[in-house]
Amino acid sequence: MMPNQYENPDNVAAHYETTGPEIWRQTEGRVGAFFAGFGTCGTLTGVGRYLKEQDPTVKIVAIEPQPGHRLPGLKSFREAKEPGILDWSVIDDVVRVDDEPAYEVTKRLWREEALMVGPSTGAIVHAAARYGLDPDEIAVGVSPDSGLKYTSYFAELLGDDGIPRV
């Protein structure tokens, strides 16, 4: 049997039962917005449902790449089928992100924050940073990819020992 994460309600349940409560707990119920990419949509749907039950004013923002993108793990629904587990009723907004700013933010995260993340995370951080939230609001984003598989792409940021350089 295949898990079929795009159609499996357990994907949503896992995030509803664990990720959502963890975010709520760690922000002490003060989360104002949650950002995640369109992928399997288990994170968006599960966390979105949980946070909306706690506080209906929490903004759930989905990140979608442009068609023809190079952002692994993210889906443009203008090119790809929507997962059956996606619940549009919990999503307040969709932000579309181009490849270039996603990769630029990824490089900045490596250089300035020593966060070895991939370009899907760059897309989410780019969208969240430009979303226009109140400065007092707590924004939470999910980093869906590690930068380990991108080390050759980001070689200019790494020294011979593989440690990110400022």
Summarize pLDDT for 98-120 with one digit per residue, the tens. 999 999 999 899 889 989 899 99
Helix (H) or strand (E) holding 129: helix 119-129
Q: How far is CA 151 from CA 77, 101, 146, 148, 163, in A?
A: 28, 18, 10, 6, 10
Q: Which two tokens stand for residue 2?
A: 């295949």
Q: Where are the beta strands (DSSP E) in 17-163?
A: 31-37, 59-65, 93-97, 138-141
Helix (H) or strand (E) holding 79: none
Q: Is residue 156 very low, low, confident or very high in pLDDT (cuts 50, 70, 90)? A: low
Q: Is residue 146 very low, low, confident or very high in pLDDT (cuts 50, 70, 90)? A: confident
pTM: 0.89
Domains of the chain, earliest start first: 9-157 (3.40.50.1100)
How confident is the prediction for the chain on average, in pLDDT? Answer: 90
Question: Does 1 or 129 have the greater pLDDT score?
Answer: 129
